[in-house]
Amino acid sequence: MDKRSFIKAIGLGLASVPFFGHSEAMATAAQLKNLLKGKVLKAGDTIGLITPASALPDEESITICKDVMAYFGFKVKEGKYIRERYGNLAGTDAQRLEDLHAMFRDKEVAGILCIRGGAGASRLLHKIDYDMIAKNPKALIGYSDITALIMAFQAKIGLVTFHGPVGTSTWSNYVAKGFTEQLMENKLVTYSNPDKKGDNVVQYKDRITTINPGVVEGKFLGGNLTLISGLCGSPYLPDFKDSILFLEEINESPEKVDRMFCQLMNSGILSQIKGFVFGKCTDCSPSAGYGSLNLDQILRDYIKPLNIPSYSGAVIGHVSDQFLLPVGVKARIDASKGTIEFLEKALV
């Protein structure tokens, strides 16, 4: 049966079989959807700057972002409302949404960089014009709260986005190399934690811990733990069946991290994945009181029993030398070596 016939059969099934729910139909549609990919970026291209989440603290944030883009040879186009403030947000929902839509519509804009994360991107998801964005696929780059957009674009239209530095991140040479290889050279990159042994006989910083050994391939999906757990039960999470899930977090106590992993378990996400990578849990100290589980115990409780290739400690998240990860493409992880190898190009 070809795809068209299969989709038609699904439609007939939905009309005649009452127990086939909306979520199952959405999952099936997502599996059939082809990936949408933006174009490879090149020096001289225009990069759109937006703030779809929290407000910027100062003008210097924009200046630094422009300097970083100039380093790669890009021109920049500012979103109309990037200097706005509405409470903690970078303008009202309507203003932030207008900037997002404008950058995707603008034919002169080749890629889109979020200047910062913070909070508030999830407020936009139900108002986004996904059909328009599907007609104008572009590389969108960001992380932390930008996970909301990364997940929604993958779920709704299959758009490949990039989990990586925002404009106000520390753009080390390591990060710049990843940006060049992924966004400008469209390479099939293999990531492993940087070697920071220095004068020591062994590496002390950025070590990985294997939870379950093994090698596995699958669609690479993930982002910030808080955002993904918060989207459970909504139509803005992609189908995680047979995927490799990666997560990172910041400023959350272990008991909250435990609660969010419990949400992923109870929602059925953890039972569907084939591989797992945990990045950094930056500033995730235990609360005062009667003690707390630590991250190793949490991962042992929720991930170890899955018996899938899995490891923790990858430089993903709120750290200076972070991986720049295409979300939605096929990848292979080796949980013993701590490597992530991309098997499918993210851009065209």
Q: Please tell me the distance from the alpha carbon of residue 145 to that of residue 318, in angstroms, as a whole number.
A: 11
Q: From the candidates 61, 163, 248, 249, give the one annotated as an active-site residue.
A: 248
Give catalytic status of residue 248 as yes or no: yes
Identify any residues that bridge with 163 across adjacent strands, giving them in sequence order: 142, 325
Q: Please tell me the distance from the alpha carbon of residue 273 to that of residue 244, in angstroms, as a whole number.
A: 6
Phi-psi region at 231: left, alpha or beta (left = phi > 0; alpha = psi -120 to 50): alpha
CB 46 within 8 A of CB 108: yes
CB neighbour class for 172 (10 Å; exposed up to 12, middle 13-18, buried from 19): middle
- DSSP-derived letter for residue 159 is B
Give catalytic status of residue 318 as yes or no: yes
Q: Please tell me the distance from the alpha carbon of residue 246 to that of residue 311, in angstroms, as a whole number.
A: 10
Q: From the candidates 61, 144, 169, 312, give the one annotated as an active-site residue.
A: 144
Beta strand spans in the chain (E):
46-50, 75-78, 109-114, 139-142, 161-163, 190-192, 209-212, 215-224, 243-250, 275-282, 310-312, 325-327, 330-334, 339-342
Of 179, 191, 145, 185, residue with least CA distance to 52: 145
Q: From the candidates 163, 243, 249, 318, give the one annotated as an active-site residue.
A: 318
Active centre residues (catalytic): 144, 248, 318
